[in-house]
Structure 1
Amino acid sequence: MKNALGKVILSCFVAGFSSVSLADFLEDSKASLYLRNMYMNRDFRQEGGRPSPREWAQGFTLRFESGFTEGPIGFGLDVMAQLGVKLDSSQEHSGTGLLPVDGRGRPEDEFGELGLTAKLRASKTVVRLGTLQPQLPVIAYNDVRLLSSTYTGGLLTSQEINGLTLNFGRLDEINLRDSSSNDDMNYSGVESKYLELAGGSYSFTPRLTASYYYARMKDIYQQNFFGLVHDLPLGDGVSLRSDLRYFNSKGDGEDRLRSASRVDRGRIDNHFFNGTWTLTVKAHKFGAGYQRLSGDGDFPFPGLDPYSTNLSMYNPFTKAETDAWQLRYEYDFSTLGIPGLTFSNKHVKAHNVKTATVDNAHEWERNTDLAYVIQNGPLKGVNFRLRNASFRASNGLKTQVDETRIIIGYNLSVW
């Protein structure tokens, strides 16, 4: 797959530059370097629990995005280079997801990835081949550790009709956030040759958008998604946002899943509804959410990030039969004369959780975020973020975790 994609990217690149002008390609190009320094401490509090991992590392992400060559069909090339460097870790304290580990559990001193993406544009339709970072309901990349994850494949995005965005794609490999290699797509440790997707979103009005997507991970599962987002203005600085999401998932070649070690995922046939309602009152945001996951098996998704409103720092709340409630509060301190400072707190409580050994477990998680972006001076744009989480599971599940993350980031425009 890697060699085939490399040849496609190279042939597109050569063909695009052999006959057309490079003016727009260069003039519309941009490059940036993102620096992320991150410390993470995960404290397992349960009796007889695992050693508590803690690591500190520095990440570098260089992105180059070209414009398109002139002509009815424009060609372009994007490049992403990522490098992660260990600052403090050990075999005893590895496992936070910041750094990859070797066969003995020892953290690597450094790791990285080089990704190339060929682009072709005709009118308002763009085809991308190579390294991809989609953010769609049926597949999304992860960017909450040192480096972000990526996928390899092809994705077509069309916006020919005003208000309508269509996406069609096939992704063959994934590079996880703490890995230097591209691996086959997989779910619950069972490999798949590819994930294919089709769908899009349509804005009926500036305040109402509906979405539908279909996805199939070959020999693992098939999935349909329906989404609706509505913004309702209620007055000066006051509005209500409704975000409703529904998935229907069924197995596709379940015999392979039944042979997997996690037998609770041996069958997929479930319905997953989740939604949030957020009331904005000037600098305040008050949110409430609910989910119902019914049927057989856990909710299936590629990578690490399900498209769920209850996705949290530690737990995604996607085990079989999980019902959950969420309360959330956010505040923007700019109204108090401190622009750039924000605070948020989220609490998720779940019950009816089912695993291979438990039928009615309980889980809850609390997330607290405090973030600040420097607004002026020579350090303008430097951002600081303190994240803290507490997760508890009971009634058959015994996990107890407290987690702290400290993140310093800066995005430097290179070109």
Structure 2
Amino acid sequence: MNTALRFSPLFVALTATIPFNAQANEEQAEGFIEGSSLNVHARNYYLNRNQLNRGEHDNREWGQGFLGKFESGYTPGTVGFGLDVHGMLGLKLDGGAGTSGSSILPINTQGDGEPGKAHDSFSTAGAAVKLKAFDTELKAGDLFLTNPVIAGGESRMLPQTFRGVSLTNNSFAGLMLEAGQASFTKPYNQSGHRRIDTFYGALPDDRQSRHLNWAGIAWSGVPNLTSSLYASELKDIWNQYYFDLDYTYKVNDLVSLNPGLHYYHTQDTGQALLGNIDNNTYSLHFTVNVGYNSLTAVYQRVNGNTPFDYINQGDSVYLDNSQIYSDFNGPNERSWKLKYAYDFTGQGIPGLTSIVSYSRGELDLTKVDPNSVGYGEYWYNPEGENARHWERDIDLQYVFQQGTLKDLSVLLRWASHRGSQGYPQTGSDADEYRVIVDYPLNIF
């Protein structure tokens, strides 16, 4: 497999805008060993999904994951060199034939296409070399990425990683610039790497995109105001652009208001392997915080005859209505959400928080091109002008504040989803709950 990296004109043009300071930051000479750290993250994950549609198997999986990260400091000098190394191990605690398939564990597919027995264990390891000079850091290898256009999925037992190169710059206060290119990904429930693909648009192996380029700016130069702008190119599939704006206005010491916007524009490019794409998706939120209470109202809209698509298994869905089960991102979908959150510090229980939300969406599937290479076969429905679905979610989390278990967290999640009968595009009828126990441990 050829893993050579090739940089497109979009990537080169965007990375060329990243500035370099005239003088090196002497504080970076912390030492390869002196500035190093070793952390282990243990995550115990249980997921039980009760499928209510006839013919669909229930999913029940339980696993224990371990992620170890060693991050070195930098060697002294104008250009510092370093190394990041990580290892992952996933162990099956439960997940027999017929109940697997929730995506926590890798499974063997039976001859009839039905989910088989989950693997007893899976593991992977990776490394990235890094250079730092003039407030600019370059990494090449296996990367943990988190931004609106390429974010590794972290919603299961182990995280997703990407193989490529990234560049970040922090020369200016309140401004972060980044760019990069990735050609392969390690999904969160697999050991090996594969080409980067999209969540909805399935393509054969010989028709996959070769790489994804991205560049972006994150700004926080004004108190209580943040904004970011990103561009990405998934070669021969799409160009995707993202913008957000978030502001918090403090009325007084007790009350604050928080309006915000997330916006994506996605358009096909190159060979257009997934066909014609012209999609504008946005979400608007408004939150009122009063003491330990917050109430949020959301409106989200997909303007386009394809769904809002994103990197497979990734978390690059920076939309307010991306929920536990559904992202409410179907073609021509409008959705609303009401969310209430409470911090039990107000009751003298610091570390205990809760969230309750209800979301409802309506899709128009009649305008989808039935001949679309990537989306038509599944999403087109000549009678789906008012396909609807809703989701109800409850989170309850406690983070230990002190003692031997300090920073250990226990998260309980419940979700119920219902869709219009006869429209599989709205998602299955399902009830699920998850129990997630996280224990981060700093070795040094």
Q: TM-score, normalised by structure 2?
A: 0.84
Q: 1:353 & 1:365 partners in 2: Cα distance?
A: 18
In the alignment, which residue of structure 1 is the partner of 2:266? 249
Paired residue for 1:372, among 378, 393, 398? 398
Q: 1:112 & 1:174 partners in 2: Cα distance?
A: 15
Q: 1:405 & 1:389 partners in 2: Cα distance?
A: 9
Paired residue for 1:75, among 71, 81, 87? 81
In the alignment, which residue of structure 1 is the partner of 2:439? 410
Q: Which amino acid aligns with 1:142?
A: G
In the alignment, which residue of structure 2 is the partner of 1:356? 380
Deviation at 1:22, TM superposition (A): 8.8
In the alignment, which residue of structure 1 is the partner of 2:332? 321
In the alignment, which residue of structure 2 is the partner of 1:397? 423
Q: 2:3 & 2:210 partners in 1: Cα distance?
A: 16
In the alignment, which residue of structure 2 is the partner of 1:141? 152
Paired residue for 2:202, among 176, 185, 189? 189
**Is residue 283 of structure 2 the alignment partner of residue 274 of structure 1?**
yes
Paired residue for 1:27, among 34, 43, 50? 34
Q: Secondary structure at the match of 1:106?
A: strand
Q: Say if 1:360 and 1:395, in contact at 8 Å, map to a contact too.
A: no
Map 1:107-256 → 2, pairs under 5 A: 107-187=118-198, 188-190=201-203, 191-253=208-270, 256=273
Q: Secondary structure at the match of 1:334?
A: helix
Q: Which amino acid aligns with 1:189?
A: A
Q: Say if 1:254 and 1:268, in contact at 8 Å, map to a contact too.
A: no
Q: Which amino acid aligns with 1:63?
A: K
Q: Say if 1:118 and 1:128, in contact at 8 Å, map to a contact too.
A: yes
Unmatched segments (≥5 aa) in structure 1:
6-20, 258-265
Q: Which amino acid aligns with 1:248?
A: H
In the alignment, which residue of structure 1 is the partner of 2:65? 59
Q: Secondary structure at the match of 2:108?
A: coil
Q: Say if 1:267 and 1:296, in contact at 8 Å, map to a contact too.
A: no
Residues 164-206 of structure 1: CA deviation (Å, up to 9, x unaligned): 2111111111111111111001121232101111121223412
Deviation at 1:117, TM superposition (A): 1.2
- Of 85-94 and 292-301, the range deviating more from structure 2: 292-301
Q: Say if 1:120 and 1:126, in contact at 8 Å, map to a contact too.
A: yes
Residues 198-239 of structure 1: CA deviation (Å, up to 9, x unaligned): 121223412222221111101111112121111111111321
Q: 2:273 & 2:30 partners in 1: Cα distance?
A: 52
Structure 1 stretches of 4+ with a deviation exceeding 4 A read 1-5
Percent of residue pairs identical: 37
In the alignment, which residue of structure 2 is the partner of 1:301? 310
Q: Secondary structure at the match of 1:297?
A: coil
Q: 1:249 & 1:297 partners in 2: Cα distance?
A: 10
Q: 1:114 & 1:124 partners in 2: Cα distance?
A: 28
Q: Secondary structure at the match of 1:111?
A: strand
Deviation at 1:2, TM superposition (A): 7.2
Deviation at 1:359, TM superposition (A): 3.4
Cα 1:108–1:233 change in 2 (3 A) is same
More strand by share: 1
Q: Which amino acid aligns with 1:227?
A: D
Cα 1:102–1:287 change in 2 (3 A) is same
Q: 2:149 & 2:294 partners in 1: Cα distance?
A: 27
In the alignment, which residue of structure 2 is the partner of 1:311? 322
Q: Say if 1:149 and 1:174, in contact at 8 Å, map to a contact too.
A: yes
In the alignment, which residue of structure 2 is the partner of 1:340? 351
Q: 2:356 & 2:119 partners in 1: Cα distance?
A: 34
Deviation at 1:25, TM superposition (A): 1.4
Q: Which amino acid aligns with 2:399?
A: V
Q: Which amino acid aligns with 1:414?
A: I
Q: Secondary structure at the match of 1:335?
A: helix
Cα 1:359–1:115 change in 2 (3 A) is farther
CA RMSD of aligned residues (A): 1.8
Q: Say if 2:173 and 2:221, in contact at 8 Å, map to a contact too.
A: no
